[in-house]
């Protein structure tokens, strides 16, 4: 423990995480457990890139100083606050005594403290961020867990495991909040439409047969939209939970591509978009789930047509590359801004929200496609240049090692 005896501080006046392990170990020996709260600045590295290191460092130091001032308010005087390291974007709070004379910490206790800390820090951080010229809201992320003393593990190992668990919990909670918010938004629009038209009809509008027929048609379309959304959500959740078994069999990619073009041909003609195919004669068959690969290709091609201008062209082509089967969907459409590419496969993420809404998109198709391709042991990539078009690329193993993909416990 000799290397832990000297406590060094960062520029905010907080001890660095690695220097307080002796104190943590002593407390664990006495109490057998400690509460652990993890807080980080979600956009810390983006702040550095956008506004420079000085602004990011000022905000980080403000967080550290605020935590010092909150000792005895949001948590007890004897509790310990530390920073992850020099230039680190995360802080930790060790809570050494359960509240209200309890024998042990509960998740509720830790969640309350964590929520209060984040609320206070967020308010102060964003007030200062505005003064420093930061244009977007700066978000914090927090997680919590309990460190339980284990004589078989060194304290640095216990702390590192707690940090990882708390960080993972913070990410999962953020994903859950975003997911619920997005689902609520997606459900609200068709439900509001159905409710509004149904109430108007019940109030007497049914006497007009033409109007009734038109409004019932709208209600039917919105109900179908809800049904598609629910189907996509279930599909995505089953795939991500490894609860979908893939039916591997020999698949002719040329036939799948031709089927895709045939299915979407009338849609492409209405959009005044030409369809083309290019096939590599060396690529004949692969082993895959034909229905799922067809689902992905239909989604990618449909999107390419949707975002092409009249007079444009969408090409579906196959080729071999370093032993992998490659299927590409290329368009000459509007393209995708470079800063959006990293998020294009996220659930509910839309590049052009207004335009996508008009087309009835739900922001789930690419997330489902990516999961299906990865379930085959492949990759789904995108290259795009704004104003020039996009290329979505499936890379699939010709003979995948694993020929079923489902929950290991099933």
pLDDT tens, position by position, 319-346: 998 889 999 999 998 888 887 887 788 7
- Does residue 103 register a pLDDT over 50? yes
∠128-130-132 over CA atoms, to 5°?
70
Strand order across the beta sheet in which 313-321 lies: 274-278, 313-321, 324-331, 389-397, 379-385
The whole-number pLDDT of residue 214 equals 85
For residue 124, what pLDDT band results from cuts at 50, 70 and 90? very high
Cα–Cα distance between 160 and 148 in angstroms, integer? Answer: 13
Q: Does domain 2-174 have CATH number 3.40.50.720?
A: no
Alpha carbon of residue 69 to chain centroid: 34
- Does residue 1 register a pLDDT over 50? no
**Comparing 6 with 49, which gets the higher pLDDT?**
49
What does the mean pLDDT of the chain come to? Answer: 83
Cα–Cα distance between 39 and 83 in angstroms, integer? Answer: 10
Average pLDDT over residues 90-118: 87
Cα–Cα distance between 214 and 331 in angstroms, integer? Answer: 36
Cα–Cα distance between 407 and 26 in angstroms, integer? Answer: 43
The whole-number pLDDT of residue 271 equals 92
- Mapping DSSP onto H, E and C, the string for 93-131 reads EEECCCHHHCCCCCHHHHHHHHHHHHHHHHHHHHHHHHH
Average pLDDT over residues 349-359: 51
- Mapping DSSP onto H, E and C, the string for 52-87 reads CHHHHHHHHHHHHHHHHHCECCCECCCCEEEECCCC
Q: Is 341 in contact with 410 (CB distance < 8 Å)?
A: no
Q: Which residues does residue 389 pair with via DSSP β-bridges, in sequence order?
A: 385
Q: What is the DSSP letter of 410?
A: -
Q: pTM for the full model? A: 0.54
**Comparing 405 with 327, which gets the higher pLDDT?**
327
Q: Which of 78-92, 127-141, 281-295 has the lowest mean pLDDT?
A: 78-92
Q: What are phi and psi of 289, to 5 degrees?
A: -90, 105
Q: Which of 8-17, 125-134, 347-356, 360-369 has the lowest mean pLDDT?
A: 347-356
pLDDT tens, position by position, 152-189: 999 999 999 998 998 888 877 776 666 666 677 667 77
Q: b/e map of 80-90 (b: 16 or more CB within 10 Å)? A: bbbbbeeebbb
Q: Is 19 in contact with 8 (CB distance < 8 Å)?
A: yes
pLDDT tens, position by position, 16-33: 888 999 999 999 999 899
Q: What is the DSSP letter of 88?
A: -
List C-alpha distances in Å: 93 to 60, 168, 272, 405: 15, 16, 60, 41
What residue spans define the domains of the chain? 2-174, 178-240, 249-397
Tokens standing for 19?
A: 């220097």
Cα–Cα distance between 300 and 317 in angstroms, integer? Answer: 12
Average pLDDT over residues 79-100: 84
The whole-number pLDDT of residue 401 equals 65
List C-alpha distances in Å: 110 to 50, 61, 122, 145, 166: 34, 24, 18, 7, 11
- Does residue 369 register a pLDDT over 80? yes
Q: Does domain 249-397 have CATH number 3.40.50.300?
A: no
Q: Which of 109-123, 179-193, 262-276 has the lowest mean pLDDT?
A: 179-193
**Comparing 173 with 298, which gets the higher pLDDT?**
298
In the chain, what is the straight-line distance between the N-terminal and C-terminal CA atoms, in Å? 47
The whole-number pLDDT of residue 179 equals 67
The whole-number pLDDT of residue 241 equals 63
- Does residue 2 register a pLDDT over 60? no
- Closest C-alpha among 95, 98, 148, 85 to residue 117: 95
For residue 242, what pLDDT band results from cuts at 50, 70 and 90? low
Strands 90-95 and 274-278: unpaired
Q: Is 198 in contact with 217 (CB distance < 8 Å)?
A: no
Q: Which of 77-81, 143-147, 294-298, 397-401 has the lowest mean pLDDT?
A: 397-401
Cα–Cα distance between 278 and 15 in angstroms, integer? Answer: 62
- Could you tell me which CATH number the domain at 178-240 has? 1.10.287.130
Q: Which of 79-83, 131-135, 183-187, 194-198 has the lowest mean pLDDT?
A: 183-187
Q: How many percent of the chain have pLDDT more than 70?
A: 86
- Closest C-alpha among 169, 171, 177, 62 to residue 120: 62
Task: Compute the radius of gyration of the chain from its Cα atoms.
Answer: 27
Average pLDDT over residues 254-274: 92
Q: Is 68 in contact with 8 (CB distance < 8 Å)?
A: no
Q: Is 301 in contact with 329 (CB distance < 8 Å)?
A: yes
């Amino acid at each position: 423990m000799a290397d832990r005896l000297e406590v060094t501080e960062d520029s905010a006046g907080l001890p660095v995480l690695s220097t307080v392990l002796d104190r943590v170990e002593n407390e664990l020996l006495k109490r057998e457990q400690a509460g652990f709260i993890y807080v980080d600045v979600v956009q810390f590295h983006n702040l550095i890139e956008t506004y420079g290191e000085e602004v990011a460092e000022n905000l980080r130091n403000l967080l550290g100083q605020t935590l010092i001032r909150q000792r005895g308010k949001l948590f007890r005087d004897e509790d310990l606050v530390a920073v992850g390291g020099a230039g680190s974007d995360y802080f930790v709070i060790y809570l050494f005594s359960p509240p209200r004379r309890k024998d042990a910490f509960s998740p509720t206790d830790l969640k309350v403290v964590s929520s209060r800390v984040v609320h206070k820090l967020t308010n102060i951080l964003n007030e200062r961020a505005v003064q420093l010229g930061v244009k977007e809201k700066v978000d914090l992320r927090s997680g919590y867990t309990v460190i339980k003393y284990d004589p078989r593990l060194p304290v640095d190992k216990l702390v590192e495991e707690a940090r990882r668990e708390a960080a993972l919990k913070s990410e999962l909670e953020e994903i859950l909040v975003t997911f619920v918010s997005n689902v609520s938004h997606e459900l609200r629009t068709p439900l509001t439409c159905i409710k509004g038209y149904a109430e108007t009809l019940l109030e007497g509008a049914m006497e007009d047969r033409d109007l009734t027929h038109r409004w019932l048609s709208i209600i039917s379309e919105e109900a179908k939209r809800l049904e598609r959304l629910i189907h996509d959500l279930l599909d995505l959740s089953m795939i991500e939970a490894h609860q979908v078994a893939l039916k591997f069999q020999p698949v002719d990619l040329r036939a799948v591509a031709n089927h895709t073009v045939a299915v979407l041909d009338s849609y492409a003609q209405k959009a005044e978009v030409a369809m083309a195919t290019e096939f590599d004669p060396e690529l004949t068959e692969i082993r895959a789930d034909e229905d799922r690969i067809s689902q992905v290709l239909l989604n990618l091609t449909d999107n390419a047509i949707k975002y092409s201008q009249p007079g444009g062209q969408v090409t579906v082509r196959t080729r071999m590359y370093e032993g992998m089967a490659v299927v590409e969907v290329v368009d000459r459409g509007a393209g995708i801004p470079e800063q959006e590419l990293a998020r294009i496969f996220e659930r509910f993420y839309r590049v052009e929200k207004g335009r996508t809404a008009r087309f009835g998109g739900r922001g789930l198709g690419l997330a489902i496609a990516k999961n299906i391709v990865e379930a085959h042991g492949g990759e789904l990539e995108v290259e795009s240049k704004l104003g020039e078009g996009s290329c979505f690329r499936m890379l699939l193993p010709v003979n995948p090692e694993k020929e079923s993909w489902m929950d290991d416990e099933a």
